[in-house]
Structure 1
Amino acid sequence: MSTEPITLTAALASFDALWSPRIVTRVNDYDVRIAKLRGEFVWHVHEYTDEFFLVLDGHLDIGLREPAGERTVHLPTGAVFTVPRGVEHKPSAPAGASILLFEPTGTSTVGDRHEAVPAYVDVTTGHALDR
């Protein structure tokens, strides 16, 4: 963990990979991750933890499969949303987005129930941020 301030703009400029979170810092047992997104991710669920999203730039849609049915939440720049544990969801950013996430350290980006990790996902628990 860095003992120096981290500028999110500079951190985001340090990588180009999509759907490949970077761990900016840790807070207690949580990773603070940033990621660049474009296109659609996979439907997945986190059985034991909520997932917090903050849109830093662009627009993020999150499809949700809830007991009442499917719906999509639309998050513009500056919006936050928490997907409750146990809710199947699918992030997408057709025009691209940059996001910040809070997740317990070691949380898989593809959730707890998945048959295969998509080829475009190069790591499921985040990369260390190059400084």
Structure 2
Amino acid sequence: MEKINITEKLRTFDKFWQSKLIGEYNGRPLKIIKLKGDFEWHHHKDEDEMLLVLKGQMTIEFQEDTLVLGEGDLFIIPCNTPHKLVAPQEVNILMIEPKTTLNTENHLSRRPVRPEEPM
């Protein structure tokens, strides 16, 4: 058993859109990510995606709607739902998704994102 200080972990890297694995919960990776700018339209064919905003404010664009998330907001994007993440300023999030989830499985990404080894 080990305590994880997410604030400390976030201080250890500066790269945006690169997830960092900080642990596992019932076989699902716990990742922290710094976002800034926008990520391309994509969807996850078979997996939901859970986002918890730790710091900042972001927008999730959907085909016919837009959702603004701020600090403390949690949202689950249902599988097979096209979406685009937008963060005009730096945003820190915690993400839980299955190990098999590819960030842009529906096409080749201009910004591939792959989780790294545990921190």
Q: TM-score, normalised by structure 1?
A: 0.85
Structure 2 residues without counterparts, runs of 5 or longer: none
Aligned to 1:109: 103
* Deviation for aligned residue 1:128: 2.0
1:77 and 2:71 matched: yes
Q: Judge conservation of contact 1:26–1:32 (CA < 8 Å) in 2.
A: yes
The answer on 1:64 being equivalent to 2:62 is yes
1:94 partnered with 2:88: yes
Measured after TM superposition, the shift of residue 52 of structure 1 is 0.5
Q: CA deviation at 1:129?
A: 3.5
- Please list every run of 5 or more consecutive structure 1 residues that lacks an aligned counterpart in the other structure: none
Alignment of 1:1-131 (within 5 A): 3-65=1-63, 70-110=64-104, 112-114=105-107, 116-118=108-110, 120-121=111-112, 123-124=113-114, 126-130=115-119
Give the aligned residue type for 2:5: T
RMSD between superposed Cα atoms in Å: 1.2
Matched pairs, number: 119
SS at match of 2:10: helix
Identity %: 34
Counterpart AA for 1:127: E
Displacement of 1:29: 2.4
C-alpha displacement at 1:109, in angstroms?
A: 1.8
Where in structure 1 do 4 or more consecutive aligned residues deviate above 3 Å? none
Distance 1:129 1:56 in 2: 19
SS of the equivalent of 2:65 reads: strand
TM-score under structure 2 length normalisation: 0.93
- Structure with more of its chain in strand, by fraction: 1
